[in-house]
């Protein structure tokens, strides 16, 4: 199968590219605009006969059409994805996530691709005080980022309802692992701690997130690509719910620092208290996680410790 993978120079996309090259005979066209979060250093070692790169923007219909021609399936990662940036500048999020997804779906529909996986987030469900979100729950996004992702989900699903296009949507919890841009909490805190700096912890630090290793996310996406039913939504979670304070304490310990490194800062605007998703539907397709959170977090910190040449230029530029 020949895959068209958008945003594959980013965090999750680059890990997914590695996953399919390691676990299948598939080939891939990588399509990425190389914004601040796209990094050729994340994929250049795996480009070659089975993976080619095209520099392009998902809102550019002509560029998408030319690059997607001849592909069998689409896995759509490309998105603006940082909540703090969306609060400061929401326009780019609506343009990329909604307009870009519409272009992607329209082109894929016209070209007759066999499967389209739209990769989304658990943040579209909003804050979950009790229990866990299931795929049929109403959406309640509370930031420009999550609202633009909810909009893109609905755009994608509308192409199935209207045109019968074979689209599936995945919604994942917070990811961690190698090649994550250092504005996100785990690489930001890890790199700061390794450099002897403080870490900015929002509010009281008691917001709860479920952490999913990026390799488990990639395996879940691949199961959905090959076995998921068109028109359906699949949650992908790690089953590792902890507070931001507990996560910070773990990172401090792994980096050999103490709690004096914590700098409590004003809470983020509209900061959701808790996310939690039920993954029963995906597990029924045979998927499960394979990474223990403690081991995975330790391995992730070790990766950032050993790969300064990857993240130091990114932090310096931003």
Domain with 95 in it: what CATH number? 3.40.50.720
- What integer is the mean pLDDT of 87-105? 94
- So what's the pLDDT on residue 304? 98
Across the chain, mean pLDDT equals: 96
Q: How many CB atoms lie within 10 A of CB 113?
A: 21
- So what's the pLDDT on residue 195? 98
Q: How many domains does the chain have?
A: 2
pLDDT confidence band for 264 (50 / 70 / 90)? very high
- Does 82 score more than 80 pLDDT? no
The answer to the question of residue 282 being in a domain is no
Bridge partners, 4 (sequence order):
29, 74
Residues 297 and 192 in one domain: yes
Residues 92 and 148 in one domain: yes
- What integer is the mean pLDDT of 246-262? 98
Domain CATH number, residue 199:
3.90.25.10
Tokens of 113: 């691709």
- Does 293 score more than 90 pLDDT? yes
Output DSSP code: residue 131: S
Residues 34 and 158 in one domain: yes
pLDDT confidence band for 112 (50 / 70 / 90)? very high
The answer to the question of residue 167 being in a domain is yes
The answer to the question of residue 45 being in a domain is yes
The answer to the question of residue 279 being in a domain is no
- What integer is the mean pLDDT of 224-231? 98
Domain residues for 55?
2-175+211-236
Residues 258 and 219 in one domain: no
The answer to the question of residue 92 being in a domain is yes
Please indicate whether residue 123 is annotated as part of the active site: yes
The answer to the question of residue 285 being in a domain is no
- So what's the pLDDT on residue 89? 87
Residues 77 and 144 in one domain: yes
Residues 95 and 227 in one domain: yes
The answer to the question of residue 127 being in a domain is yes
Q: What is the pTM of this model?
A: 0.96
- So what's the pLDDT on residue 244? 98
Task: Provide the residue count of the chain.
Answer: 318
pLDDT confidence band for 49 (50 / 70 / 90)? very high
Residues 142 and 200 in one domain: no
Task: Please answer whether residues 127 and 142 qualify as being in contact, where contact means their C-beta atoms are separated by less than 8 angstroms.
Answer: yes
Q: Which of 81, 147, 120, 137 is nearest to 278 (CA)?
A: 137
Residues 197 and 100 in one domain: no
The one catalytic residue among 123, 135, 210, 215 = 123
The answer to the question of residue 107 being in a domain is yes
pLDDT confidence band for 122 (50 / 70 / 90)? very high
* Helices (H), ranges, the chain: 11-23, 61-68, 83-88, 91-94, 100-111, 144-163, 185-194, 214-227, 244-254, 280-283, 293-306, 308-317
Residues 24 and 171 in one domain: yes
The one catalytic residue among 122, 153, 215, 222 = 122
Task: Please answer whether residues 261 and 193 qualify as being in contact, where contact means their C-beta atoms are separated by less than 8 angstroms.
Answer: yes
- What integer is the mean pLDDT of 225-238? 98
The one catalytic residue among 16, 57, 135, 145 = 145
Residues 46 and 193 in one domain: no
Average the pLDDT over each of 3-12, 203-212, 264-273 and give the range with the smallest value: 264-273
Q: Which residue matches tokens 């780019």?
A: 92
Residues 104 and 227 in one domain: yes
- So what's the pLDDT on residue 161? 98
- So what's the pLDDT on residue 92? 92
Residues 45 and 156 in one domain: yes
- What integer is the mean pLDDT of 74-90? 89
């Amino acid at each position: 199968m020949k895959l068209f993978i958008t945003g594959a120079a980013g965090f999750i996309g680059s890990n997914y590219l590695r996953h399919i090259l390691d676990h299948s005979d598939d080939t891939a066209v990588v399509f990425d605009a190389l914004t601040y979060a796209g990094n050729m250093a994340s994929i250049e070692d795996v480009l070659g006969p089975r993976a080619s790169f095209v520099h392009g923007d998902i809102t550019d219909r002509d560029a998408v059409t030319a690059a997607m021609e001849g592909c069998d399936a689409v896995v759509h990662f490309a998105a603006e994805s940082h909540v703090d940036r969306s609060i400061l500048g929401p326009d780019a999020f609506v343009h990329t996530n909604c307009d870009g997804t519409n272009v992607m779906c329209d082109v894929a529909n016209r070209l007759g691709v066999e499967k389209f996986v739209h990769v989304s987030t658990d943040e579209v469900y909003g804050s979950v005080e009790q229990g866990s979100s299931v795929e049929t729950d109403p959406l309640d996004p509370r930031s420009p980022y999550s609202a633009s992702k909810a909009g893109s989900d609905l755009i994608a699903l509308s192409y199935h309802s209207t045109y019968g296009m074979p689209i599936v949507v995945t919604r994942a919890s917070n990811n961690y692992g190698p090649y994550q841009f250092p504005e996100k909490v785990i690489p930001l805190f890890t790199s700061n701690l390794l450099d002897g700096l403080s870490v900015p912890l929002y509010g009281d630090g008691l917001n709860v997130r479920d952490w999913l290793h990026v390799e488990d996310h990639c395996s879940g996406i691949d199961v959905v690509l090959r076995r998921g039913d068109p028109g359906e939504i699949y949650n992908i979670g790690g089953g590792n719910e902890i507070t931001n304070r507990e996560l910070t304490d773990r990172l401090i310990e792994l980096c050999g620092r103490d709690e004096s490194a914590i700098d409590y800062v004003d809470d983020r605007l509209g900061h959701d208290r808790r996310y939690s998703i039920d993954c029963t539907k995906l597990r029924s397709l045979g998927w499960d996680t394979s990474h223990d959170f403690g081991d995975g977090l330790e391995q992730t910190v070790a990766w950032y410790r050993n790969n300064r040449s990857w993240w130091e230029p990114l932090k310096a530029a931003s």
